[in-house]
Each structure stands twice: as structure tokens, then as C-alpha cells.
Amino acid sequence: MDEHSPYDETRRRLLGAMVAAPFLLSGSQLLRLGFGATVQEGTALSPTPQCGDDDDDPTPAQTEGPFFTPRSPARTSLLETGLKGTKLTVTGMVVTRNCRPLSGALVDFWQADDAGEYDNKGYRLRGHQFTDAQGRYRLDSIVPGLYPGRTRHIHVKVQAPGKPILTTQLYFPGEPRNARDGIFHSALVMKMAAEKDRRAGLFNFVLDLA
Ligand code: FE
């Protein structure tokens, strides 16, 4: 149960900051936190889950790996000046087994940069957010680079309020290394669409909740 506490703490701190000192968040940050208006912008992929088929199996858990850093910044975009690589958006929903959208669910991403390196001193390419009222999230980032022994992947922790943490990873379709990575799981492959200037991934997290 101890592993829930950092997230509950993060949530309390975030909500506390918003209530006590809303002026600390700019208008655009507030817009990002309530990002419902922009979640489908520029992508033809619909996050609406196909309930009643195989998609309602709970999302499998995966190893956290060695590079998780707690207390990532609250942000939906990991893009920053000087960051190299192909832009990537990942959108989707967090839902229960019965396809009930989970609002206020924590989604915490971390990933390697274009050269396959993690920032283990700071928070580059690390960030958490909470799903909106419809259970949606949106990540703006880059396509992670490859590093020895692994196929291309993004790490993520997902937690509905007060519920256990799901730690897992997302994968890219058509990657030559998928077949040779012992951690790779086909149920964790994003649906991808090619955009003009970036790649767009879709993935719905199904938590093992009723
Ligand atoms: Fe990794």
C-alpha cells in the first residue's frame, strides 16, 4: 500500500496548489490540465474504446525498469527547446473493465530521448497528468530512441484515485526489435497514424476495476 502514497501526495500537492494559489498556474497551463478541448486536435484517431470486444481486457502490467524517477512535473507536453527527434502525440482514455471512463486518473510518463538516453538527474522527458472529465489524456513528446537490449517503448504508470498503480510500457507497431525484446507485449502496441509533421499514437488503458 505504501506505493500509493507518492501519487496521493502528488495529487494533494497539485490540488492544494490549484486551490490555494491558482495564480501560480498560467491560463495555458490550466487549459492543459483541463485538456478536453485539445485532446482530439489534429488526429483522426478516436480514443473511444470499443467496449464488449477484446479491448476490455485489463492492460497488462510490465516492469518499471531501472529509470523511473518519482515526483515528475505536472505537464502534458514534454517538448522543450533543443529536444531532437520526431514529434509524437499519444492520446487515449483510462477506463475500467466495463469501459467506464476514469476522470482524475494519474498518468505518469517517462521515456528515453532520441539518442536512447534517459535523464536520470532531472526530469527531461518525464511528466504526469490527470485524465479529464471524460477520462482522456494527451501526451506531447518525441518518438523515443532505441537503447541496447530493448525495442522502442514509453514507460507509464496509471492510477485511478485511491486505487493500485498500474506500471506498464507502450510499444510501436512495425518495430524490427519488437520480436526480439523479451519484455515486449503485443497488447501494449499503440495504434499509430502518420501526421504531416509527427506520429500520433492511440492507447486506451483498461484498469482492473469494475
Ligand atoms: Fe526503458
Domain count, the chain: 1
Alpha helices in the chain (DSSP H): 5-20, 27-33
Ligand 1 center to 145 CA (angstroms): 10
State which residues have CB under 5 angstroms from ligand 1, the bound ion: 65
Q: Is the dihedral of CA 86, 89, 94, 97 positive or negative?
A: negative
What burial class does residue 25 get, using C-beta atoms within 10 Å of its C-beta: 0-12 exposed, 13-18 middle, 19+ buried?
middle
Domain that holds residue 36: 8-206
What does residue 35 show for φ and ψ, rounded to 5 degrees? Answer: -85, 20
Extract the C-alpha cell encoding 135: 477520462
The pLDDT assigned to 54 comes to 53
Share of the chain above pLDDT 70, in %: 74
Strand (E) positions, 22-99?
87-95
Q: Is residue 47 in a domain? A: yes
Mean pLDDT of 49-60: 73
Q: Is residue 3 in a domain? A: no
- Which H helix or E strand runs over 116? none
Ligand 1 center to 27 CA (angstroms): 33
For cell 536520470, the residue is 120
CATH assignment of the domain containing 69: 2.60.130.10
Q: Is residue 1 in a domain? A: no
- Looking at the predicted structure, is the pLDDT value of residue 179 above 50? yes
Ligand 1 center to 32 CA (angstroms): 26
Tell me how far apart the alpha carbons of residues 196 and 80 are, in angstroms, rounded to a whole number.
20
Q: Is residue 2 in a domain? A: no
Tell me how far apart the alpha carbons of residues 94 and 203 are, in angstroms, rounded to a whole number.
9
Ligand 1 center to 10 CA (angstroms): 23
The pLDDT assigned to 52 comes to 58
- Which H helix or E strand runs over 131? none
pTM as predicted:
0.78
Ligand 1 center to 126 CA (angstroms): 12
